[in-house]
Amino acid sequence: MKRISILTAMLLSFVFAHAQTKQFTLEEGWKFSKGDFENGAQTNFNDSKWEMVTVPHDWAIYGPFDKEVDKQVVAISQNNEEEATEKTGRTGSLPHIGDAWYRTNFELPNYEKGSRVLVVFEGAMSDPQVYVNGQTAGEWGYGYAYFNIDITDLVKAGESNLLAVHLSPKALSSRWYPGAGLFRKVRIIVQPESHFKLWNTFVTTPVVSDDLAKVNIKTKVSGENLKLETSIKDASGKVLVSKSTDEMFGDEFEQNIALENPKLWSPESPVLYYAVSKLYDKNGKLQDEQTTRFGVRTISYTPENGFQLNGKTRKFKGVCLHHDLGPLGAAVNKAALRRQIQIMKDMGANAIRSAHNMPSMEQLELCDEMGMMFLAESFDEWKKPKVENGYNRFFDEYHEKDIVNLVRATRNHPCIVMWSSGNEVPDQWGSDGVKRAKALQDIFHREDPTRPVTVGMDQVKAVMESGFGAIMDIPGLNYRTHLYKEAFERFPQGLLLGSETASTVSSRGVYKLPVEIGHSKTYEDGQSSSYDVEYCNWSNLPEDDAVLQDDEDWVIGEFVWTGFDYLGEPTPYDEYWPSRSSYFGICDLAGLPKDRYYWYKSRWNTEESTIHVLPHWNWRGMEGDTVPVFVYTSYNTAELFLNGKSMGKRSKNKSSKLERYRLMWNDVVYQPGELKVVAYDDNGKTADEKVIKTSGKPYQLVLDADRTTLDANGKDLSFVTVSVVDKDGNPCPTATNQLTFKVSGAGKYRAACNGDATSLEMFHLPTMKLFSGKLVVLVQSTEQTGNITLQVKGKGLKSGNVTIKSE
């Protein structure tokens, strides 16, 4: 299937335009260069030697890694630090700082007098300055913000028009890897004289029953003497009901449409509807048309019932996610986002928090379709800075505009069930911060009165004293589990949200002996233990949160920090080099599950049974030493066997925090061979078992593609897990072989990632070491149909191959 050209009308992420409004995604044909070119906006500027790129694009992800990039000497207050120390890797050690230009030409179709032309950005990192045909069109501040600029007076129909964008990400502007460039979509919209205003249709379902839903649609338009006709369709395109009106209140139509026998949106059944709206003039001539996708659902938050979706109480089993996509950087890719969401759903998660920034349109579209509730966050800073050049630079001028655009552009997504106006802002102290919190919440309420607002609050004592926490719709606590009870009693809302929890650290497949619970532990190899007992001085074990979530009805859920590792913020190794990505993830940077994934799955995924054994059983030279064995399982009882000999049964014990959720054999003496765990149901009968074995030498590479059929659109991805096994097919969990990758046929090599936070190998080069026996290769489709073959080789290993179809 050939990719649609940039001048073909494309779907707007939530309001899809047909009929009169035309939209064009500017994806291909961009020229890019680093540097501050004085005449880079001019039509006669010579850009012939610039790099050709596609947008979305992140220039920094191609590296190289360098410890000097954004090296910061700082005391991180969020980490309870009082003395400034040198931090390397805090923003990923990738070259995201400096000036750069993007330039592209586009042609517009002929359009009638009175039409308007907009250029729409869904994210530009950062400080974008926009020029059209050599003239200044406008600028913005926040790199994560959606914004649009009216360029009607600067463009000409039927001619080539030049769009140039200057970006200048600054040092000391972020606490994590922000990426750099036009990392989200750029579109041109041509609107007729009478049209639906961009981001100004709001669909709600204020009344819902089994038999009937009231669908309220508020639509702002430009023009006079107009008539609006709206039809509601199901996913098959069947028209379910239609209604028309010619009554306008100012520039707004309002319709209430009765939808019979509605199917409700939920994580288990993410049913979507489509409101097709047509705008006619007084003579009955069609002026504009749009389709708004929405879901029928209700939400409520009360002390009596906690959080309810569609009238049923449920808790948030959520994860926080930064915006980067590991080896792809910050550039949005829908296939990569879909994989992330699916991995989290398979674990049993039902919600995502966009931390600490505005989400991409693609992420929200997928959450609607796949059934994942969403907490949409806006800012990591307000007026008071965390970093010198953070959002504090923009707050006074932009905070209202940024919130308005966020809410209006995304409020029709049924997945969004809550807004967040900030995260761990230093404004939590003092009366000025309380006033800012109230003012920001009021803006959210004005733009969307249907959803509550929270803030991730880490200074719990301060917000108790100042009243900050008391004014929030939903008090969100980041960590501080020891203060939950006091906060609940002090705050008037009658409920609490774990807006950020755990921050347990681990490296996939790395196990440190002896096993000791502790915070801020570091080792010479720059790794953290995957026994899941290490955390930061401001965070805690996952069990601390689980006890509150499971035992207290007034705790309405949690968002774990984090679902996936991300670039930057390598705590507890932010003073260690090399280390350039996080250790917090339930999955590593490649998306491979760590052991902790199965700890959460054993609690959250009630549809499947879970039985997971750790550590691996390759401990050459440690024969006779003690190697504890943990089991994460949905069963209450299991028995461990080592080489056929029982090590005893263990049952979960509610009176012990660790033993409540883990089965532990702490005194196992290592012998090579076979570990077998047999799980028993509540009647004492064998229900499941898991076996791991000591492996021999690495012998053969094994490839497992998450998708074996791709769309031939030049963007689709297959994530191929590469592992190594011995001659008997047993995984080799400590293998670190250097591998090379070759892609042939109707695809190309895109990137690789092994999940090692200390690796300085570049993702886009076709070679990488295994880490703990595994890595992931990303294969990308082209616009050609046919077979794609990935071959992976390693010295002394039998090579592996996988074939993927592109159609």
Residues tagged active-site: 424, 500
Beta-carbon contacts of residue 399 (< 8 Å; ≥ 6 apart): 379, 382, 440, 443
Pairing of β 686-693 and β 100-107:
unpaired
| CA–CA separation, 563 and 341 (whole Å) | 10
Q: 301 by DSSP, 3-state: which? A: strand
Tell me, what DSSP letter sits at residue 568?
S
CA distances from 371 to 209, 216, 352, 488, 728 (A): 20, 22, 11, 30, 41
370: tokens are: 């796949």
Buried b (16+ CB within 10 A) or exposed e, 63-89: bebeeebbbbebebebeeeeeeeebbb
| CA–CA separation, 384 and 39 (whole Å) | 36
The answer to whether residues 807 and 753 touch, using CB atoms and an 8 Å cutoff, is no
The answer to whether residues 375 and 559 touch, using CB atoms and an 8 Å cutoff, is yes
- The amino acid at residue 219 is T
Q: Of the candidates 789, 802, 780, 788, which has an alpha carbon nearest to the alpha carbon of residue 713? A: 780
Location of structure tokens 């039509």: 43
Residues paired with 300 in a beta bridge: 308
| CA–CA separation, 712 and 114 (whole Å) | 39
Give, to the nearest 10 degrees, the angle between helix 334-347 and helix 595-604.
60
| CA–CA separation, 763 and 387 (whole Å) | 28
The answer to whether residues 718 and 804 touch, using CB atoms and an 8 Å cutoff, is yes
Residues paired with 794 in a beta bridge: 739
| CA–CA separation, 360 and 523 (whole Å) | 37
Supply the DSSP string of 566-605, one letter for each residue. Answer: -BS--TT-TTSSS--B-S--SB-TTS-B-HHHHHHHHHH-
Residues paired with 317 in a beta bridge: 558
| CA–CA separation, 178 and 2 (whole Å) | 32
Residues paired with 581 in a beta bridge: 567
Which class for 154: exposed (0-12), middle (13-18), buried (19 or more C-beta within 10 A)?
buried
The answer to whether residues 169 and 428 touch, using CB atoms and an 8 Å cutoff, is no
CA distances from 617 to 395, 409, 689, 735, 798 (A): 53, 51, 16, 13, 23
| CA–CA separation, 287 and 369 (whole Å) | 30
| CA–CA separation, 53 and 34 (whole Å) | 13
Pairing of β 629-633 and β 637-642:
unpaired
Residues paired with 256 in a beta bridge: 216
Which class for 382: exposed (0-12), middle (13-18), buried (19 or more C-beta within 10 A)?
buried
| CA–CA separation, 368 and 357 (whole Å) | 19
Location of structure tokens 């030409």: 105
| CA–CA separation, 775 and 787 (whole Å) | 23
| CA–CA separation, 787 and 804 (whole Å) | 6
Supply the DSSP string of 664-694, one letter for each residue. Answer: EETTPBP-SSEEEEEEE-TTS-EEEEEEEE-
